[in-house]
Structure 1
């Protein structure tokens, strides 16, 4: 919110300097982000009038002007040589007299005006443009002043250039501070200085024409007011004082009617809209848009509408985006003669986030989505009407005012004892009551308690803490004592069987991966394609159109990070993320840390792309594959041993994907990106990815001490012929399943399949070489016991998988 200090002081003028006023606003919660002068320092520049203008005898683009500068022209008009195209007789412009100091240039030094000679003609000063005074970037000609500007008056005094521009950084709850009057009301409460309360005298109707308005959606619009004004002059010139104030609020002048609407918005925080009455077909209908409708806005964009957006329509088409921007078809123009002035109360929830759908924002939408006072729509239309008649003329009609459901002012109780405890200093009931009176809040008193009814302009007062905050900031944060907080400190010791999330991060980073942090809201396409989620959780108010749903898998975020790196010529990418995902789950109840119906488990996911190692002379380059990343997962889970079972995942290659099992539970997947998605996301090679449940990864086995074996282990190698359908995991598990406990391990160390089927290894079979390790803790193994254990292992493999010894 930007505004000039002088406009604020017209409503409330406390005995404070500019710096003190800025400090007061900041300490009250309305942070002054920037304060700067309206104009840079300069001096010696006065109002002057060109009384003669002749062509320069030696230059085609110069004119020799004689100017009257009032007291500065005691000896007659001053001769000034000027090259501005608009230098003509009768206009009043700024004159830099001899000795004047112009604003500093790029070197930071002021420029002094001296008597000069241009092409043989002396010049006793300089006529100035707005750019030369650094009032704007306009350098197309001299800065023309109103014809009633007093000759010889200092230009700083005439244009009020010693004013200061304040820029406030308001939090979303301070909607009542989005106007000059609203800020003045705050200053009055903070300082006790009198507030100039405006009075809106009704404008007498001169005709009885009304525009029919039907409100079909009470959840969109709570109040709709308007009136017809006929016979206006849209070509009227906006007064200079209004143009100046709008410019100092950061708003350029458009036309008289548009400027009036914008002026009242900055003055009282009331967005309004002025329709060209003759372009409206029939009456107006306030409703939710219908799927497929379109609207061409005032900014020239044509947008597609849906049922989530409110509109104002007539009998033929949509004419305005409710609370955000008007439409082009009913915009006022130089041909407008009859207008309809509209001011409404739009429910904040019905406006919030709608403009971001169309990648723009407006001052009106910014105010309506935070809350605009619904009580003064009629009064503000009276004010707009009076300004229209003063500037553009016209005859006003009767006021129409439809009211539906308006915000209910629910009483809020302030306990004085509670306020003292929260603020941290003793506060009396009278002090609390004084603050509420200064803020204009109505209340009733009881012993140790005040019951406040929030006014219509305060949308931020809903709970007791809101009132406590008001008491603290109005009394002054500088009064709060500097009391250090006291709280018991209790060390939280993590159980030994669980490692922290940061330990998991360090473990993944030690494997060569770099951590990334991504948004939890993602493109809906990622959810459909990479997570197989046809019904993702949608974000009601997305910060950008693509980030419209909550992710149920981290893989989409990592693929996007990969694409970002590849677009910057990265050849080798190793990234991971530890973050939450969001899934629908009806069993989840609402609590302080959960949302009803939504599960939010944490995941750790990684992605590897490119060569296994950085290019070097000692090792041949090899692209990362499934087994490389499988090894990383095994290292991450160590010393726990996971089982990898062939599986399918929406994001992964059907034949190069495995489910990761731990203690009989599937905790995630590892695999290569599906060829379909590699092509869809335009990746030169397929990355290998994994995604695991963080809680399962954090669990670890507590080390248990065991004595060093006193006996020596026996090792035997077996070559077993089995069908190709038998996996080595199943075979080694069967070999280890020794009832006597002698077989301690079974490790596959070779696979053999002949080029052509043989008698020993027929078609569809292969030879798996397994090393068995046998040990008895209590006695030395004899050859007979070893042979018996091997025979039993072979027998188990034969019974379970049809295995036989090779040869």
Structure 2
């Protein structure tokens, strides 16, 4: 929320600098995100008046104007379409300095002399408006410095509030905090009941008292919507981030910023019958003020009349019943909507308004009359409105009850680590608006103010006392604990070690959201049911992930769309799958790979990464799990290419998958280059075998090479497993060094060449023993794999 420092100081003005005040607010738990001047720096700009405006003799889109600053009249050439005689303007005189250190000098434009410049709001850094020059009020004092006229030596403070502090979404709320922090009185504007000038009322019915326990309205006649909103109000709205529209809307927005109570003005002549606050009927439609047509659902609270919905309660008004240039009679509403009825409704419909932001957090449920009286007085002054009597409807059974809380000074002392005087505690509570119900030494019973929905128990009061007294004044006590070093099982591999190994191979660690896009996840995992979020951040983050792949693939898409076409991402995190026994949360390590095999450089030849590159990276990764064998066997997965997919198994149990993204999914997701994915279940991966020392043999090793021709469909790993089985326990190395297909080999066959090394720990192996091993290997390969020796 943005507020003007000068507006705040009209309510409470401690003798401290703006920076000190912002530091105070932040330390009280209302974080100041930043601040900025309400206008860019400029000088030499005064209020001027265009006396005459004539067509430039040499340019169709320029005018030659006579401009007075009250003491002299000069000629200025201007291209703004709204320049006209009698208009008060922002006149930058010769020598003026505009934002960006732009100095105004005498010039000639198409042979006509120009002594100054008539400025737009954008040129002065007041807003982004540049449709024409600024039009000032007719009573603007001629020759007055524009910074003085607009009171621009001010800053806009941006405060970030936690959801429980809706009471500070107003000048009144922030002023209350600053007042109690500095122990000074808050000088709020006097708000008195406006005397009705007629007896006309518009009937209101609370059909849903649970959703709307309080509703206050008033009929205003003879409203001059063409009246000009006062400059002071326009500026306060602008500094609060709201643009001026018309006096009725401006007044309701002003009261919202001032008191925290959103309001709405209906065109009374567009209403029929009576106002009814109710739930929407299925299929009802409404066109909102922003032009959107919404189809309402029965869980949405609406303000309606006999013809149908007029507004989405607490969110936005309807287009047809809103105040327009032809409006003469206004029905002013101010309501309290139960936060639970408003929460999530705006976001679910793709909306977010200043009203919904406040109502879903909770507004003061006793402040509706005060807001209407304040707005009425302003509309009487600005628009000449004639007010009727207040219409107040209340469902007392659903109006929140103020919490009554007991507080003991002993509990305050034990919680804060220091004793506070009873007078200090009492002063803080009263300053925050708590009402003393009863009091005795070291004990208070207080009633929470109607604007504090977050007060319920004694701990809440102690927190308030701590933050107002000052966290930096509380004693600092370092915790003491007897910390014993924790043993680590040697068999357990650390997840970070695996991530570090992948980083060393050129991967980057990613962190993606645990909630993903439903359509993408459904396409990749059609048989897995996704867990939907009750209140998602957005439509494309609406379900919990059943794999890390959707998030990583989304990250890959983001990079590919920005010409970063070499991708190596790895992530560790949990997946969430709903099983019959309950929610299953499994730690996973997953990755996505795409692009060239090597990074760009003189050594890079443009070859793209393939399945075996990714498989090799995984083999490097899994080699960190000592004493354990992982097998890559052909497999199928709904998200992976049928011919480039492998199951990763450990002792026959599934550990994960690796493969290329399915071509149909790549096309669906708009990915035009090959993408490879892998994932590992960490609960089945991280346990290694306890290493054992084996003495080095002093005896020579023996090496033989073997080349066999097998069927193309025979998995290489099966062939190597057969070789290991028949090679005996003294085989210390088996190395596949060549796979050949081509000339001299049947097109349905392939040649495998491998090197075998034997070494005995206590003697030299003989040729006869090695020959027996080789014979057993060859016979087994012939029997099991239809292998023949390659000549």
What corresponds to 1:628 in structure 2?
613
1:268 Cα deviation from its structure 2 partner: 0.4
Q: 2:270 aligns with which of 272, 275, 279?
A: 279
- Which residue is 2:531 aligned to? 537
2:508 aligned to which of 495, 511, 514: 514
Instruction: Determine whether 1:435 maps to 2:428.
Output: yes
Q: Deviations over 1:743-793 (max 9, x none)?
A: 7887777889999999xxxx9999988887777767777788778878887
CA gap of 1:603–1:446, structure 2 versus 1, over 3 A, is: farther
Q: How many angstroms does 1:660 deviate by?
A: 1.0
Question: Where does residue 25 of structure 2 map in the other structure?
Answer: 25
Tell me the equivalent position of 1:330: 321
2 CA distance for matches of 1:636 and 1:63?
Answer: 78
Q: For the residues of structure 1 that align with 2:238 and 2:165, how far apart are their CA atoms?
A: 23
Moved more, 177-186 or 58-67: 58-67
Match of 1:606 in 2: 591
Q: Would the aligned equivalents of 2:266 and 2:322 in 1 still touch at CA under 8 Å?
A: yes
Question: How far off its partner does 1:614 sit?
Answer: 5.1
- Residue 592 of structure 1 corresponds to which residue in structure 2? none
Contact 2:514 2:545 in 1 (8 A): yes
Which residues in structure 2 correspond to 1:388-787 (within 5 Å)? 388-390=379-381, 391-403=383-395, 405-412=398-405, 414=407, 416-443=409-436, 444-445=438-439, 450-462=444-456, 464-481=458-475, 490-492=484-486, 494-532=488-526, 534-585=528-579, 587=581, 598-613=583-598, 622-638=607-623, 639=626, 640-709=628-697, 727=715, 729-730=717-718, 733=721
| Cα distance in 2 between the residues matched to 1:435 and 1:212 | 40
Take 1:722 and 1:94, find their aligned partners in 2: how far apart are those partners?
A: 90
Contact residue 281 and residue 316 of structure 1 kept, 8 A:
yes
Q: Distance in 2 between matches of 1:120 and 1:686?
A: 65
d(CA) in 2 for partners of 1:54 and 1:671? 75
Structure 1 residues not aligned, in runs of 5+ = 73-77, 588-596
TM-score, scaled relative to structure 2: 0.81
Deviation of 1:278 after TM superposition, in Å, equals: 3.3
Q: Does 1:210 align with 2:195?
A: no
| 1:341 match | 332
Counterpart-to-counterpart distance in 1, 2:735 and 2:114: 104
Shift of 1:704: 1.2
Rate the CA distance shift 1:308–1:583 in 2: closer, same or farther, 3 A.
farther
Q: 1:718 to 1:445 in 2, by over 3 A?
A: farther
Q: Check whether the contact 2:205–2:275 (CA below 8 A) recurs between aligned residues.
A: yes
Per-residue CA deviation, residues 124-166 of structure 1 (Å, 9 max, x unaligned), is: x99998788776667945754454x678887766654555544
Indicate whether 1:176 and 2:193 are aligned: no
When residues 665 and 158 of structure 1 are mapped into structure 2, their CA distance, relative to the original with a 3 A threshold, is: same
| In 2, Cα distance between equivalents of 1:677 and 1:429 | 69
Q: How does 1:76-95 map to 2 (within 5 A)?
A: 88=85
Give the whole-Å Cα distance in 2 for the aligned partners of 1:15 and 1:791.
99
- After superposition, the CA RMSD in angstroms is 4.9
Q: Structure 1's 633 and 55: CA in aligned 2 closer, same or farther, altered over 3 A?
A: closer
1:223 counterpart residue number: 214
- CA displacement 1:496-531 (0-9 Å, x = unmatched): 222333221111122232333333322112211223
Distance 2:145 2:705 in 1: 106
Name 2:223's counterpart in structure 1. Answer: 232
Hey, what does 1:591 align to over in structure 2? none
Structure 1 position 4 matched with structure 2 position 1: no
Equivalent pair of 1:210/1:228 in contact (CA under 8 Å): yes
Return the match for 2:180 from 189, 192, 197.
Answer: 189
Answer whether contact 1:53 1:66 (CA < 8 A) is retained.
Answer: no
Deviation at residue 264 of structure 1 after TM alignment: 0.9
**Counterparts of 2:239 and 2:636, CA distance in 1:** 63
Deviations, residues 321-378 of structure 1 (Å, cap 9, x unaligned): 3322212121111222333322222343444454445655322222223321122223
| 2: CA distance, partners of 1:246 / 1:789 | 91
Residue 34 of structure 1: aligned partner = 35
Please report how far the alpha carbon of residue 437 of structure 1 lies from its aligned counterpart in structure 2 after TM superposition: 1.6
| Corresponding residue of 1:374 | 365
State the shift of 1:719 in Å: 8.6
Which string of whole-angstrom CA distances, capped at 9 and with x for unpartnered residues, describes residues 484-505 of structure 1? 6656555455432223332211
Mapped to 1, the partners of 2:410 and 2:350 lie a distance apart of 48
- CA 1:745–1:160 in structure 2 vs 1: closer, same or farther (change >3 Å)? closer
Q: 1:727 to 1:36 in 2, by over 3 A?
A: closer
Residues 229, 397 of structure 1: CA spacing in aligned structure 2 closer, same or farther, 3 A cutoff?
farther
- Where do 5+ consecutive residues of structure 2 fail to align? none
CA shift digits 1:172-226 (9 cap, x unpaired): 33321211111222222222322345444265483354334344483x4443333
The one-character-per-residue Cα deviations of 1:42-92 (angstroms, maximum 9, x if unpaired) are: 5896x8989x8798999995565788x6xx8xxxxx655566776656x77
Change (3 A) 1:512 1:15: closer
Query: For 2:22 and 2:707, how far apart are their aligned partners in 1?
Result: 87
The separation in 2 between residues aligned to 1:582 and 1:15, in whole angstroms, is 55
- Distance (whole Å) between structure 2 residues aligned to residue 34 and residue 548 of structure 1: 34
Deviations 1:655-704 (A, max 9, x none): 32122112443121111211211222233343222111234443333321
In 1, distance between residues paired with 2:126 and 2:723?
Answer: 89
Alpha-carbon separation, structure 2, partners of 1:611 and 1:467: 61
CA distance in 1, matches of 2:735, 2:55: 104
Indicate conservation of the 8 Å contact 2:223/2:327, yes or no: yes
**How many angstroms does 1:258 deviate by?**
1.0
Q: Distance in 1 between matches of 2:172 and 2:547?
A: 49
Shift, 1:468, TM fit: 3.1
- C-alpha change, 1:419 and 1:803, in structure 2 (3 Å) is farther
Q: Following the alignment from structure 1 to structure 2, what is the Cα–Cα distance between the partners of residues 456 and 200?
A: 20
CA distance in 1, matches of 2:238, 2:24: 25
Residue 353 (structure 2) pairs with residue 362 (structure 1) = yes
Greater Cα shift, 565-574 or 169-178? 565-574
Provide the rounded CA distance (Å) in 1 between the counterparts of 2:562 and 2:271: 53
Structure 1 pair 92/481, CA: closer, same or farther in 2 (3 Å)?
A: same
C-alpha change, 1:796 and 1:290, in structure 2 (3 Å) is farther
Contact residue 522 and residue 548 of structure 1 kept, 8 A: yes
Summarize the Cα distance change of 1:28–1:607 in structure 2 as closer, same or farther, 3 Å threshold. closer
In 2, Cα distance between the equivalents of 1:798 and 1:82? Answer: 101
Shift of 1:387: 3.3
Q: CA separation in 2, counterparts of 1:805 and 1:55?
A: 103
Measure the CA separation in 2 of the matches of 1:325 and 1:316.
Answer: 18
Asked whether the 8 Å contact 1:102–1:133 carries over to 2, the reply is: no
CA pair 94-648 structure 1, distance change in 2 beyond 3 A: closer
Residue 457 of structure 1 deviates from its aligned partner by 0.7
